[in-house]
Amino acid sequence: MKEFTQEERYRVLKSPDEIKDLHQRNAQSIYRQTYHVQPVTGLSSDPNGFVYHNNLWHLFYQWTPWGAVHGLKYWYHVTSKDLVHWSNRGIGLSPGDTFDNKGCHSGSGIALKNDLYLFYTGNHRDEKWIRTPYTCAARMDENGKLHKLKEPLFGPRPDYAEHQRDPKVIYHKQKDMYYIFIGAMTLDKRGTVLIYQSKDLLSGWQFSGELKVPGYENFGGMWECPCIENLNGQDILIFSPQYTKLPERGNSTNHNVYLTGQMDYETLTFTPSGPYHYLDYGFDFYAAQFAANVNSNDHAIMISWIGLPDNHYPSAEDEWEGTMTIPRVVSLKDGYLYQQPPEEMKLLRKEPIPTEGHLPDTCEIEALFDGEDTDFNLFTNQNSHGLKIHYQSDTHTLTFDKSHMKLRFNQQVFEILNIKLAEDLKNMQIFIDKCSLEVFINDGKYTFTARLFPVKEEHNYVSDHHVKLTIYPLKESVQDNFIL
């Protein structure tokens, strides 16, 4: 894997010709995907600016052009009419102004009438490499071109640590007020959210205070990517706590969780109605974001980065890294978020194949279980168990073990994870796309997402008689074309 100097990582992209050859090399990788959004070149991480606007889904992602390395971040733009077929649109936001001279970092978007607005973290560094984060904004014109505001909406607060980022903008109809939630760290290194408010979207922002979440005053050292949504009268708070270990998460210190409860905008208090839940139980899932302007009381649309900060993946050998999840339709039932793939994903199905042990490299699997102890292994060959999936019925424990695959990575974080179900294992809907795995368990009450890199021989599966399978090869729905 190529090693980058700081100068190379933060180099400004001046011409498409500088990375055209890199795109051609990336596109030759056997792990390039067919129905997931992936970086046009180099590295992608957090999803940003996810908005439904003028009958089109707009999505941006954090992008470093030069290779499988975090460095100078851009926002790259993709669009879809149906959340399944995605097209590359080119660079959305480029760094280089005073307030974002070292990157346009994560944020969100919102649509008002015919205009689309983006809010992002301007990553400024001085000559001593001291960081100052600014909350910045941009407007998209009718031709799809983005225009950044000349000045930031506001700068960082000195009474908090320098980690203040990932603005999520919302409009509260009853209060006729805009709010921005900022992920932050206190000076004594506790994770929190800072809240700003304004009557006007692009000016007049005032600091309201720190979000209070009773029982979560010491929950991690930084809360990245906060996001809030209301479903059926219940508020849903999702965020990514860092610098802490949590149960059943191995040695990972990066997580994505959700709370259900009620948000009081007068007291800036989110009162949970129960304990936190993992948004996903897999090896690689982070920085989830709800789409803006969905305008539904009973469901939201969510997408996430299939990856974790500080982790690295075998595709780095091919000079690229990162992917988004399938967008997920999220609903609330009995205090749990249920996640489902869009109904339009069924349009990608080809005719089902015989269940004779062969595993296509892009497919959907429907698995029905009878509630008994079960073993079901994916990516197997004659000499390997591949990804071992075991269900222990007496404890309702579902175990995923990737330690038997040939290409092993991030072993120091985790290779085996458990999900403690509250009921019997009934079903799974599994999506495989070259190097990604997304599993929707028990109608999406639990999900498991991972990057896996099977070699040529690891394209089989083994299951016992306690599981019934239907396997659909899937058509391509994402274009891997070079557009800047």
CA distance 51 to 303: 11
Indicate the residue type of 449: T
Instruction: Report how far Cα 5 is from the mean position of its chain's Cα atoms.
Output: 27
Which 8-state DSSP code applies to residue 12?
P
Which 8-state DSSP code applies to residue 347?
G
CA distance 65 to 60: 14
CA distance 139 to 109: 10
Active site residue 46: yes
Give the active site residue among 21, 46, 394, 433.
Answer: 46
DSSP string over 371-397: SS-EEEEEEEBTTB-EEEEEEETTTTE
Is residue 431 within 8 A of residue 282, CB to CB? The reply is: no
| DSSP-derived pairing of the beta strands 56-64 and 74-80 | antiparallel
Instruction: Report how far Cα 154 is from the mean position of its chain's Cα atoms.
Output: 26
Range list of H helices, 65-126: none
CA distance 211 to 217: 10
Contacts of residues 349-357 at CB distance under 8 Å and 24 or more positions apart, as own/partner, are: 349/472, 349/473, 349/474, 349/475, 350/472, 350/473, 350/474, 350/475, 351/472, 351/473, 352/470, 352/471, 352/472, 353/471, 353/472, 353/473, 355/469, 355/470, 355/471, 357/460, 357/461, 357/462
Nearest one of 283, 291, 298, 285 to 327, comparing CA atoms: 291
Q: C-alpha distances in angstroms, 19 versus 12, 66, 101, 319, 446?
A: 12, 7, 21, 11, 39
Q: Which two tokens stand for residue 260?
A: 């259900």
The label of the residue with tokens 């959210």 reads 193
| DSSP-derived pairing of the beta strands 328-333 and 300-305 | antiparallel
CA distance 100 to 125: 8
Catalytic residue numbers, as ranges: 46
